[in-house]
Each structure stands twice: as C-alpha cells, then as structure tokens.
Structure 1
C-alpha cells in the first residue's frame, strides 16, 4: 500500500490578523513553556559542584557514567592536532570541499565585522577613546554522536579566531566512543586549538571552572541539550555565554507567487530539528495558504524525519492570513523570528520596515537552509522573540571594549569642577576631593 495514502493529513493552525481575538491567539501560539525542570536543575547543580571541587576525576567519572567512555586520565580524552588532520583526510573530497567553501565564506563575512580601537583628542589635549581586544580563551560546546553539527563548529569557531582569540577549546561528547569525523574535520579547518571528547554539564563545568587538564575559559558558546543549557545558565557570571537558545523558528512572508512546494520545504527545514520547532507562514492570499497546505501534506510522506515534522507542524506551526504585506510585516515584527524569509517580488521594499529578526532571507531563491551552512552570516541567532534586543553571534561577541580616558592638566581642572559639584550632590566627599585636587588655583 502506498505510504502517502496511509498518512493522515496534517492539521495546521489557521489565524487571521483581522480577527478581534488575533492578538491573544498569536500570544498563545508563540508561548513557550520555559518553566524550570527542577530535577534537571538539581542534577546540573550537583555536577557543577563536583567538577568544581574534584576537577578531572569528576569529569572522568561523569564521562564514564553518561557517555559510556572509559578513560583513566584526561589525556586519553584529548584529541591531538594530528587526529584532527587525519579526520580531514578521512572525509570524502566532496565533504572536504563543502566544508572549506563554507569556512571561507563564513570567514570572509566575519572579517567585515572586525572592530578597531579608536580615540579622539579634545581641544585642551584630553584624549578619550576605546580599546578593543579579543578574549584570551573561549570554550566551544559541540553536540556529539549522531546529533553532530560540523556547521556549528564553523559558525562558532571562525568568528572567535577572526576576533583574535588566542586559545579556542572545543568539547564534544563521543557517546559509546562514537566519533563524528566531519566535526573533527571542521575543527581542523576552523583552527580550533584543543579538543576534548567530553560533553554534558560536566564539560560546561570544566570550561567554566577549569580542571587540572582543562584551563578555565572566558566565555562558553555553542548549542546543547537541556542539561548543557541549564549548566550554561548556572555558570553565567563566572564566565560569559552566548545565549540560552530556544527551539528553532522560521517565519515566511509570501505574496502567493512562490512555488508552494518550495515554501512547504522551507517550513520543514526548521520543523525537522525537533518537535518544538516553530514554522509560520504569513500571506495576504488565502488561496495560496491552501496551496501550501496541500504541498505540506503531499511532501511530508517523503521526509526521513516526517514523524518529528508532523508533531512540530501540528503543535506549533501556523498559517496566518493578513490584509496586505504591510500587515504581514507588522505581525512579523511582533513575532521577532529567528529566521525570516521575505519570499516576495520586491523584498527590498519591505526590508526597511523589518525591525526584529535574527536573519532576513531576501527573495524567492534565498532558502533559509543556505544560511545554516554556507551563506556566510552566522547561523547562531536569537530565538523566542529575543531578536527584539539580541543579535546574531559575531566577532564582536569575542571582543571586549575598555574605555580610554587621558585628561590633560587643563581638562582635569575644568572637568574637576563639574565632578565636584555632582559628587557633593551625591554626598560622596572623597570623589569630590579627588577631583578637586586637580583643579588649578
């Protein structure tokens, strides 16, 4: 029997922006339950405490327990540079070429983000400015085993190296010894300095606190499961982190003229990540929404991850009918999606009105999937509406800025008078007198 005939049609939520209840309906659609899992939190707290107190021995113990990898010492879990180069030689020529092309594009794009130190001199000789320097050491978490993402290595490691980070330490679990050669090859291409085959909250703890074998880092970046995300949240403040990412999201604005099969597959591209991913289509053409729904049901049986896609589409997807494309942009700005496709005839006309989106994909030919791998811009993007105040990962995330202040004698005298008034107004006498000592008689 044909599998297509056996597959029940997918039920997709339909909303209309003109409905008086639309605001409430949209809020319910976007709601994401991030209530703390107290059991996970307790486990993570214990792991962090043990690694902080016992270092390598705790990491080795958790690696045995959770990954089934037996090692007597941490040096058995460190991957040499020769082994990374070996992985680069093991993968196919096609895979190597694809990795190198993607890496070149990611590097070229991020080199444009370089920020230089700057200063200016005032008329009295006072110098003000900013010194921009890279972080000394950064930790990169990469999922391992079957759920391995070499693209994440490129997107996290290359901006760090472009920024000038001296030492980049990658951790990647190898459950039951399962090593992903593409991930190691990506590490070789990206210039990762050290690699340890550890994962979970114990790897985050090792990077944050340091052990006898793993030096403490300044910042931890990279995706992971709920234990990794919880651990990153817990160690924030001891180290910097990139973000706490929610489920993957895509929002497509379409004028009804793009092949509906293309749009259905674009929606699948995020839905296949996991059951909680969210795919939204907005159009001012109701008939077109019907066409895409038919494409969804036609194409779903052909997908390897159809079970995951089906749950994602039925539980979190929506097709939204709007009055016009300006209305579509308004709805999009409220959602502030991770990925936004402007699948319209003139995307440049809509672009100035887009205020909140992690990445904007312009035109019918620009599939979001290209951004995940090889377009050049970073695929680490704000989710769950955080594009309202957050940006994609970039070179700037691996740099620090220090203010430069150098007063001349004349400048110190004049500004000392101002500081004195303000300090005494706050009741901070030592501040005032410190400034007053520099005031010329």
Structure 2
C-alpha cells in the first residue's frame, strides 16, 4: 500500500488519472488497493482537501488540460477513471442532460467517426446546460491518448455517474468493443452495470451507473459480486427473505450480510483511536438511536420529507446533507429540537476514513459530490485486479494515514504552481469591506 506521506517524488509511480477527481473518492479507493493516482479537479476547495490528504492533484479544467496541457500528465499513467459532474443528469438537477440523451449519443458517435471537433464543440456549447458536454470528456481523453505520439492507449477505463447516464455508458461500451474510427483498431472488453451502494457495505442508499473497459490482454470484464443485501425502500420488508434472493438450484449461494446501518457505521467510527466522530450527543441510555428527516421532499411533494431510522442506511448523501435534521426521539421532533451531521460523520456515511482531512470551504458539497470510496474499492479491484478487495484492505480503509504539512505544500506547488494556470478567478479572495474606527 502506498502511503501519501512517504518521502518519494510525488508523481513517481502514478498509474491512474482521475478526471473530475473531487476530494478523492476514487483516489482514496486506489490508495488502499496499492495504486497511486493523480486527479484533475477545478474546484479550489476540493483541491485543498486533496493536498491535505496527500493526493497528487492538478488544479485545472479537464477540457483545458486535454487541449493545451496533455503532455503534463505522467507517461506512467495507463488507467483512466472519472465521474463527470452529474448536475444536468441527476433527478435533483435541471434535467437538461436527461432530455439531451439521444443528442449526446450522436455526439459520441461523431467524435469516434472523426468529425471536426471545433464544430462539435460549437454545438455542445449550445446545449441547454453546457455541463452535459462533460460526460464526453473521458472519451475525448482516450482518443487524445491514442492519437498522441509517444502515448499508449489506456489499458483500463473506469467511469461512474448517476443511473440516468447508463444509456451513454452503453454506447461507450459498444464503440470501445468495436475499435472503429479514431479508436484505430484498439478494441476493449467492456461492460456496464447499475449498482446499489448499500450492497457493497456503504451505509447509504445510492445508485450509480458504472462502466469498466479493459484491453483484451487483461481478460473479460466480469460483473461485480455484491457483499450485502439490498435495502427495501418500501419499508417493513427489509428483514424478510425476498423471492429474488432465494437459490434457483440445489446449491445455495454464499449468504450475504445485511446492509450496514447509519448507527453501525457511526458507532464503529467513533470507537477508533483518535476518532473524529463523536456521537455521544445522539445516544440515549448508552444506545445510539435517532431518526433523520430529509431535506428533500419525496413523491413530488416538497413538504413530504422522508425519514430514516438510525437502524437503516442513510439517504443518498448529497451536498445538502448538513441540512438534514436528526432527532433523538419523538418529543424532540415535536419540539423541533434537532441536530445535524458533522462533516466527519457525513464522510463516514460516504465511507471516507473517519479522520480524512476535509479542508477548504463547502465541505458538505465536497462530501456529497464524492464517489463512496468503499464502492470505488470494489469497482477498481474488479477492473484492475479481477478480484474483490480483501477484508484487510477494507479494514485499513477506515483510517487515513497522517500527511506531513510539507507534503501538502509540495502537492499544492505541483497542483497550483504560480496559480496562473488554475481556473480563472478560482484563487480570488473576497475581502470584507473596511470599516472606519468608531
């Protein structure tokens, strides 16, 4: 396992390039599997978290890096990962991406067919939500690698997004398998799945569409094996044996664990050495027992706020998780005496280590935007090694190693340098108005 704080040149041995890296969900997963990564991230706050965590980072726009700074990516990189921004595809967003699915499918084909990219860019900028175009960036990075002298095509590709993007990943997979056009005969073994995070030990319900592709010498892409039972969103039945879980032949399947609850995850994290999680305020007579009222409405009714018991997985962790209300009993609910999840607690519900060094501003948004590292470990382990993460690796992922300040400063120098190539205005400091002395 590579420790972020070791005294080595920070970019030596980097194999994974993580596009739209955020605070590091996939990078954290890669670290605990023994792979070193570098991420590209445009948000300054997420970069500050990454520097503090010892994660190599370039503070830049993904598109600009591809167009003008591609040669800065270490040549040791042979794995491409990424989770393009989901706002235009998410059900919580404006829906522009979902409405444009058929149009984006055509753009994917046009890019591979070799149409003029300047013309394609012009049309992409005319979309209702320009962020929709970012879902094409992983493909454009792959094509760039294939067409750049001295570069090799990525050996493996791992992409994730909200379920609405699954049809686009299917088109990606079809083209990657074909090797046509600008792929220049490079054919990949590829497959796509819709995964439920609670089935991989993440204490929240969250669905993700995942694409895994590998060059043929690495073998066929095998589906992931779930480790936990799904959570019944309709309540009342989650402890019952469901028909689709029963064996269909004489050989009974290996029993799966029950999904992990909020209380189990937070209680375990609070018991770790020097834990950043303190849930004593949520205990009643020593028992960790509470319920959460969502910030979001359900069933199309903004006033119909969903509820989850502490004995259940959390709602999908979003950037608004700090607005969810936590009540310890019905009396507190009646009096509207509520608590909130702290940032370390929200991170644990995303399966980040309890002591992950969240930094910068908008930390709740950083947490919500991230890929759950435990899910990332299962996906990356299957893609990169053909197996599941070991119990030892999963156990180690509960605690993040200490990173010296000097390492964070060195990484900031690599990522931001003189700040001239960082996204415009990203380092602008808004100072309060001066006031005259009384």
TM-score normalised by L of structure 1: 0.26
The structure with more radius of gyration:
1
